[in-house]
Amino acid sequence: MKIRATQAILECLLEQEVDTVFGYPGGTILNIYDELYRYQGRIRHILTAHEQGAAHAADGYARSTGKVGVCFATSGPGTTNLTTGIATAHLDSSPVVFITCNVGENLLGRDAFQEVDATGIAMPITKATFLVRSADKIPDVMRQAFAVAATGRPGPVLIDFLKNVTAPDQMVEYEFIPWQKNRGCESIRSLNASHSLKNPEPDRQDVDKLLEMIRHAERPFLICGGGVVRGRAHKEFREFAEKLDAPVAITVMGGGGFPGAHPLTTGMIGMHGSQASNVATSECDLLIAVGCRFSDRVASDPASFAAQAKIVQIDIDRAEIDKNVLTDHHIIGSARRVLSMLNERLPQYHHAAWKQHILPMRAPSTAGDSAQLTPQQILDVIQYQTPPETIVATDVGQNQMWAIKYLHFRYPGQLLTSGGFGTMGFGLGAAIGAQLGNPDKRVIHITGDGGFRMNCNELATVQYYGLPIVSVIFNNGTLGMVRQWQSLIYGGRYSATTLDRGPDFVRLAEAYGLKGFRATTRAEVEQALAAALDAGCGAIIDCQLDIDEMVRPMVAAGAPITDFLLKEATT
């Protein structure tokens, strides 16, 4: 049947079972927003304070629910304001479809008001981009965009509609096709042959070879990467680790892929990795990395990384194989499928001597009773006063490393953090998306005073939609991670990192109609968090920390991961 082009766009969203869209309107996208007015009650639109906040919210929604997030923005600055959020999703393999509108065909290429080459800008930071110049392409492009975003290694896709394509007189032939069926359509596959819409099937001979390598290993070691989380392969990974009876390191993006409190967990690996994880990497004879791309934060010195080991990489994306670290063997396929194939034939192993050597290196997990408030005390309170299913969204920097080090994540989507792009200001938007996608769960936003300033305007979104998000600010009056580098590497020359300025975060919360608390001791954190959780609305807890608090341990960039610049704290 024939329907309006804008109607076809929204019907395609319903095909994909989209019920929530994040965005910010403007001139060129008004035709879509006018159509959206007719879909009230079927598609919920969340108006954020800024397009970047909308991008992060759609991303947080996707990561926490496992669905594809959706974000709307207008042309020009609306589109360019999305780019940080698009790149964030791209580096962390998060499936988000970004829908923008551009000037009309007659103005394209003429430097018209708010014209920008959206697809050109987004091409390097997306899985695919589409410039839609004809209304009859809408159903196929929409379906392909969602299929590409969610299939294989997930990631963002951008669709840019010319304004004339969305004009009220534009009609298109449309038939509703449920998403379970439309990913197999010939019309979708023919649109872009460069994107396979099926996950690669692992080679059984490759699986056989890994099983043989395991049989000869005496000191096996596992890395749980972001691919385990994105592929929701946590159950299969846990079975594999327990059958192999091997220590497990967890990357920043792997948080929730393997239980943080599991007896086999050695903690984070790499630049701020634990002694147990980094030493195990250097002393193992077989290293199996699942869904891990060996970034510079994990393998800071590729030449010395796991030098005594046979290195095996399991990844859905062939492009990641041997890109950063040369492997001895690899298997291409989704983490869940590969691990299932391994688990079917893997016997129970026992590596008691190896575990007894590595696992005691894990640092004690006591928060201590220091009179001066410490990051571990704050996180200890959060761990014990919030429900075990609580979702945690972090910003980037010291607060991020402390949260990942001291909190124990149990399931995929419980930790939302910008690991690849390192986006300050990511946390609040992501928390908004997570809370809207998971209304029955608590969401805690962990941030620093620097990162919080980046996107604190999204407190307006928290207040308007009645979201009970608690933002816990690690306020040390500085750009903490940068200051840490300045202290250790730059001779204490603190250039442009001291944040001796406003706002007063408690009063800022109150200005937005939220609850504000300030804490200087553990007891005050306990009282503030209890009150914030009981407030029934969003809240901020401003936690006052010493300016020279540091993340421990630390390895200098480019150094072998056992060359600690800072040792792990023992209390």
In degrees and rounded to multiples of 5, residue 254 shows phi and psi of: -85, 0
DSSP string of 316-351, one letter each residue: S-GGGTTTSS--SEEEES-HHHHHHHHHHH------
Check 11, 15, 35, 51 and give the catalytic one.
51
> Pairing relation of β-strands 515-519 and 554-555?
unpaired
Q: Using alpha carbons only, what angle is made at residue 258 by residues 91 and 424, rounded to the nearest 5 degrees?
A: 35
Q: CA-CA distance, 335 to 199, in Å (whole number)?
A: 11
> Pairing relation of β-strands 554-555 and 564-566?
antiparallel
Q: CA-CA distance, 417 to 112, in Å (whole number)?
A: 37
Any catalytic annotation for residue 72? no
Q: CA-CA distance, 221 to 198, in Å (whole number)?
A: 30
Q: Hey, which residues does 478 pair with through a beta bridge? A: 498
Check 481, 486, 505, 554 and give the catalytic one.
481
Check 98, 130, 137, 163 and give the catalytic one.
163
Nearest C-alpha neighbor of 455 from the set 39, 38, 85, 29: 85
> Pairing relation of β-strands 157-162 and 171-173?
unpaired
Any catalytic annotation for residue 2? no
Q: CA-CA distance, 82 to 298, in Å (whole number)?
A: 28
DSSP string of 28-88, one letter each residue: GGHHHHHHHHHTTTTSEEEE-SSHHHHHHHHHHHHHHHSS-EEEEE-STHHHHTTHHHHHH
| Residue 449, C-beta contacts closer than 8 angstroms, at least 6 positions apart | 473, 474, 475, 476, 477, 478, 499, 505
Tokens 């204490």 belong to residue? 492
**b/e 97-112 (16+ beta carbons within 10 angstroms → b):** bbbbbbbbeebbeeeb
Check 114, 385, 463, 527 and give the catalytic one.
114
Any catalytic annotation for residue 163? yes
Any catalytic annotation for residue 213? no
Q: CA-CA distance, 427 to 443, in Å (whole number)?
A: 11
E strands present in 133-185: 157-162, 171-173
Check 113, 123, 212, 218 and give the catalytic one.
113
Q: CA-CA distance, 65 to 157, in Å (whole number)?
A: 18
Any catalytic annotation for residue 294? no
Q: Hey, which residues does 312 pair with through a beta bridge? A: 288, 329
Q: CA-CA distance, 380 to 372, in Å (whole number)?
A: 15
Catalytic machinery residues: 51, 113-114, 163, 481
